[in-house]
Amino acid sequence: MSQAKIHTRPFAALGNDDVSQVGGKNASLGEMTQHLGDAGIHVPEGFATTASAYRDFLEHNKLSAPIKELLEDYRIQRKTLEEAGAAIRQLFLDAAWPDEIAESIRAAYRQLAKQIGRDEPDVAVRSSATAEDLPDASFAGQHESYLNIRGEAALLDACRRCLASLFTDRAIAYRDNHGFDHMRVALSVGVQRMVRSDSGAAGVMFSLDTETGFPDVVLIDAVWGLGETVVQGSVDPDEYQVFKPLLEKADCCPIIERQIGGKANKLVYAEGGDQPTRLVETDAAERTRLVLSDAQILQLARWAVAIEAHYQRPMDMEWALDGETGELFIVQARPETVQSRVQAGALKSYRMKAAGERLVSGNAVGDAIAAGQVCRMDQPGQAADFPEGGILVTAMTDPDWVPIMKRAGAIVTDHGGRTSHAAIVSRELGLPAVIGTGNATAALEDGQEVTVSCAEGDTGFVYAGILEFEARDLSLDDIPPTRTQVMLILADPAAALRWWRLPADGVGLARMEFIINNLIKIHPMALVNWDSLEDATARTKIEELTRGWTDKQAFFVDTLARGIARIAASRYPKPVILRMSDFKSNEYARLIGGQTFEPDEENPMLGWRGASRYYSPDYQAGFALECRAVKMLREEMGFDNVIVMIPFCRTTTEADRVLAVMAEYGLTRGERGLEIYVMCEIPANIILAEAFAERFDGFSIGSNDLTQLTLGVDRDSARLAELFDERDEAVKTLIRQVIQRVHALGRKVGLCGQAPSDHPDFAAFLVEAGIDSISVNPDSFIAVKQAVAKAERGP
């Protein structure tokens, strides 16, 4: 039989060289079946119809001429897109299978049944389009798929419907927009054994971070039931992130994020009726439980790494968990097409310049900001009627929404996760999107002026009114090398990965208290004393935040460890200096349940803060949770690049007490390579520099507090603002002294603060004084790096 007359081919006989005959989706399934089995990757058995079968189907039914005529009617506007598309699809549905092709499909189905040992197996029937002269063209998301198809007659009908879906309205519009000749495109149908994820779980997986392009994580979304709900965005999934470089490290579990999604519904098999699947509500236990175990998350992540290595490019994959056997499968893999195209030499930085009323929040897609009028829509109508730059607000999107999305300035949806259709298309279009708000269509009014911000980390916000914001281009070209290390100040785990392209020497200051405030939101002592906590309002809020956690203290430890891990991952294996919590008592009191455990201090800035809390009977149990999180981070997750730093340590006696408490909770200086630094922000730290150097491995100058305590100026006083200056000679004298004296003992000294960013002459002073490192906010990094390089070159 000639190649032109081969109408079906098993996956096991396909590979990447067959894209022109079976499309990228089916060729990829064959490639994985042939080459990745040795890596332990499971791909369900199946077969594909060929492009030849599609073209023979057209010829047998004489469809080419009427299809061309209907497309011409659409081109000259004698018919609308909807009318032309419906008429073409009906041509396919009314057409008959040529006997030779029908028998080839039946025979392949029988062979599949024999292979898996099941009569009339249930199969997934998916479309895989291709252009023979454009084999690399991507037609992802334009055509239909059908699940739980059983029997030869139902299979032939589903295959016919797949062929018809080559002319969905969205597929016609897509090919027009990209200049593809409709008659040169063919459609292959993939027929694959169904994984019983209807009683298990399914989802989507990327071998990089979809928002930032950070290449060292695997992103996994997971839902109960069949996976179509993830792609459609109709269900808010669990989200997991795994750090790839530590996957093969012995005894490591580098899952840096585990976020429980709402998972309100799941798609399952229907029993009887015309539809093979149905959407049902999940129960309370399913909504509060993680879909995947740690072992399953790690297995999928290892598969993602193996698939990426085989294809030598970032990949977008779909997976399924069989509820009957407990086996995991990869059911689809395609190249990732958005972040892999992002130019590596430039960054755009957005920043809100004005505060506003937050109307709704959800998952942030992208890192941009946009402002405009709300255009609330229930159905995708005529794209021409949508105002250019409007803020599209809808429950969820599917491919039919794309023409409207292209006109939008931003997108806001009620449902969906970071791998939903709305999120994927928003990334491709470069639009900010706030996904999975839960209530945007109810909370936002048509015509209302709003500002959509995705520049504040993982959470995106919709603000009332048109607010002022800033957009800056940051070029990474020609950043000069420096002897002095220039490091980053980071606080928000959600934003840490945004800056991975910056050639920083590590993180000089990771602020633990910001992680507690943003991710945990609960006072640690409220969790320690959960059983006796009497604050009813606080108990209600804590129950909501810790849903799924019976051990409230474990929630704190786990959430804090994974939050720090995202910062540590962004620079691994370079050092990340983690400052233990440095809330003031008034700030601690604002945490949920905090009022019960905090004193009312006259001057919190000089009160119960930093080291003095860690050994106090009133907070030591809270500090123990912080220590447990760091121990988990370093020893269980593998982030041994994290250095611990103690803030506001007033005396050497206090230092000894803190180090003893840390050792009691498993953090002993020197063990397993643990280094402990001290913040140098009190004149006493410099006066007794040698004594502190005996106890700590390094010093980090906190210029704000050091200036405040040296000059006796309240750093927050507007009236005394002109007196507050890190460049005052008294402050500079202390900085020179500590650098010289600590260097003589072989210890490192860095500085973290805003001064080097604001004052290039201060950066030059630090270089002249011999500072080891300077830590700055990410958006100041390039300017400070240039100032340091200039200072090192000299006059």
CA distance 402 to 141: 11
Cα 495 to Cα 20, 451, 515: the distances in Å are 41, 19, 11
CA distance 657 to 668: 13
Q: Which amino acid makes up residue 173?
A: A
**DSSP β-bridge partners for residue 316:** 206, 334
- Give me the numbers of helices (H) and strands (E) for the chain, helices first please: 29, 30
Buried/exposed 521-542: b ≥16 CB within 10 Å, e otherwise? bbbbbbbbbbeebeeeebeebb
Cis peptide leading into residue 573 (ω within 30°) = yes
The tokens describing 471, both together, are 């957009």
CA distance 139 to 172: 11
Cα 304 to Cα 291, 300, 748: the distances in Å are 18, 6, 40
Task: Collapse the DSSP code of 503 into the 3-class scheme (helix H, G, I; strand E, B; otherwise coil) and give the result.
Answer: coil
Measured in residues, the chain has a length of: 795
Burial class (CB in 10 A: 0-12, 13-18, 19+), 181: exposed
CA distance 474 to 454: 18
DSSP track, 412-440 = EESS--TTSHHHHHHHHHT--EEE--SSH
Contacts of residue 40, defined as CB under 8 A and 6 or more positions apart, other chains included, come to: 303
CA distance 218 to 246: 12
CA distance 461 to 465: 12
Select from 132, 125, 185, 127 the least CA-distant residue to 151. 125
Phi, psi of 438 (to 5 degrees): 90, -30
**DSSP β-bridge partners for residue 130:** 186
**DSSP β-bridge partners for residue 411:** 392, 433
What is the Cα 212 distance to its own chain's centre? 8
Is 752 a residue of the active site?
A: yes
- Residue 763's H or E segment, with its range, is helix 760-769
Is 310 a residue of the active site?
A: no
Helix axes 51-61, 64-75, angle to 10 degrees: 90
DSSP track, 574-618 = S-EEEEPP---HHHHHTSBTGGGG----S-GGGSS-THHHHTSTT
CA distance 486 to 751: 10
- Residue 361's H or E segment, with its range, is strand 358-365
Q: Which of 252, 421, 454, 680 is catalytic?
A: 421
Q: Please give the positions annotated as active site.
A: 421, 752
